[in-house]
Structure 1
């Protein structure tokens, strides 16, 4: 990309940032819209049978009625974006070594390990975007990738309004805010935040639209006041209604689950698809 083109892209993105919503002194990007009030995020897709991070697992999450699918992003040696949770191919595919040491064509020859005996390929990010467009939102766990390239692919797929980006590194946070300021970002809050003032101070330094943890139960109301959505991680082998209800009683906006089918059925059966009414704290 030429210097002139880079400047054009940058200033275009800055102008687009004014679409954001204002919360007090913080300017928040809107989260992807969902038809349900309580958000169900299918962790790595619906992967109890289908391979995690596969197109098939994404399709099943869509069929079940999940609001988001969580996927993990990594980069091949020749700069292509693919879905893979681990840094290495060992365990989740029939390959070995780091994905960053293989070109895309080599990665695409591999098969994901599957419980149903069928063959599934490692998907490219573009394949995942096209599968999800206008069907399900994406919770993008940004593992190891180039921010500008990722955002360009999101825009090319017309998915700017359907992606929430989970940040793992401060340098990635800074890059996303600089290159795509209108994209909603999510990250964990430091566990040492104990007071409302400490929370506000942190959010001034690192504005977020969502988080996956509550460092102190007394902060739930302050988090809500500051426009911070909470999507708790409940994914585990022994998820059950008791654990789901405990999470919902915290006043969160949604959860990430390994069991989207049973969770959604539980919510529908108990008329909780729009959430559980909890008292203000």
Structure 2
């Protein structure tokens, strides 16, 4: 009898091992088959059963924000998109940094627009606690060369001030299809500024409760602003910003969903997502990240990439 039990246990163990190996192999296959092209297609063709995850300034809790290390750490987690910020130096080089000055994030002082690149390259980045690290301030070109061919896209925040120059770097590095531009201006303003260049980039309009024109005079309701793009230009996505749960922006999401255009939501702080932030989601993910998804989000930009990915995978909304 004991022999039969032992044999049965061995058989069960072998079957379980085979199943686990099969699952592991499938996971490895899913990860290895992920490409920037696939992520771009998922962004262009949103579905209800998949949510893309964006790391805000990279994995800045474990590496300096906007650093290549922060991007790499987010990439290794399995993040789909990394948001970075683009600024121009005194001698017209594009670097990756959020603030207008180097004071907060580096060992230096001064406004980026008043400092030449070679001086910025002598500085080192600080970590989240404000302590110096070994990491340097990267140029946009260095970042794009780093991500080239890797399974990740970059969201180029603040590049609207230097869109042609940013595009030139993407063209030079062969990474046009790994970058997303965004901005606040109505379509006709963007077309007046940039002409046919708008047809060569992946562009995401930002939809606020009120979107003003270039002169700050005539206000456009969210649905009117969005419809201007939908009727005359196919945006890669809409970044929606709503400060209240009854915001008119949420009503406008229905139009975006109808047109099968991706809805991007930032859960970084209260005013961007009606209070359904990452920090609250850590305590109750269903009530916050779940609420955001229920309201139509296909993309979530987060300051908690590891935890968001865990939640999405548990819900079978991410590979």
Report the TM range for the smaller structure's normalisation.
0.7 to 0.9
Count of residues in Structure 1 that have an aligned counterpart in Structure 2: 245
Residue 90 (1) aligns with residue 103 (2): yes
- C-alpha distance 180-222 of structure 1, shift in aligned 2 (>3 A): closer
- For the residues of structure 1 that align with 2:252 and 2:58, how far apart are their CA atoms? 30
In structure 1, the residue matched to 2:310 is: 265
Write the mapping of 1:123-138 to structure 2, written as runs, cut at 5 A: 123-135=138-150, 136-138=152-154
Cα separation, 2, equivalents of 1:153 and 1:58? 18
Q: Which has the larger radius of gyration?
A: 2
Q: Secondary structure at the match of 2:134?
A: coil
Paired with 2:178 and 2:80, the residues of 1 have a C-alpha distance of 10
**Contact preservation (8 Å) 1:77, 1:100:** yes
Contact 1:212 1:232 in 2 (8 A): yes
- Give matches, 1:1-281, under 5 Å: 32-34=40-42, 37-114=50-127, 115=129, 118-135=133-150, 136-143=152-159, 145-168=161-184, 174-192=192-210, 199-201=226-228, 203-204=230-231, 208-213=235-240, 215-236=248-269, 238-240=279-281, 241=285, 242-273=287-318
Runs (5+) with no aligned partner, structure 2: 1-37, 44-48, 211-219, 242-247, 270-277
Moved more, 107-116 or 253-262: 107-116
Q: Which one has more relative contact order, counting CA pairs under 8 Å at least 6 apart? A: 1
Which residue of the partner structure matches residue 13 of structure 1? Answer: none
Q: Which runs of 5+ in 1 are unaligned?
A: 1-29, 275-281
Inter-CA distance 173–189: structure 2 relative to 1 (3 Å threshold)? farther
Match of 1:277 in 2: none
More helix by share: 2
The answer on whether the counterparts of 1:44 and 1:70 sit within 8 Å (CA) in structure 2 is yes
SS of 1:33's partner is helix
Aligned to 2:10: none
TM-score of the superposed pair, with normalisation by structure 1: 0.77
Distance 2:139 2:190 in 1: 20
What is the RMSD of the two structures over their aligned residues, measured on CA atoms?
A: 2.8
Q: For the residues of structure 2 that align with 1:269 and 1:107, how far apart are their CA atoms?
A: 43
Bigger mean CA deviation after superposition, 142-151 or 126-135: 142-151
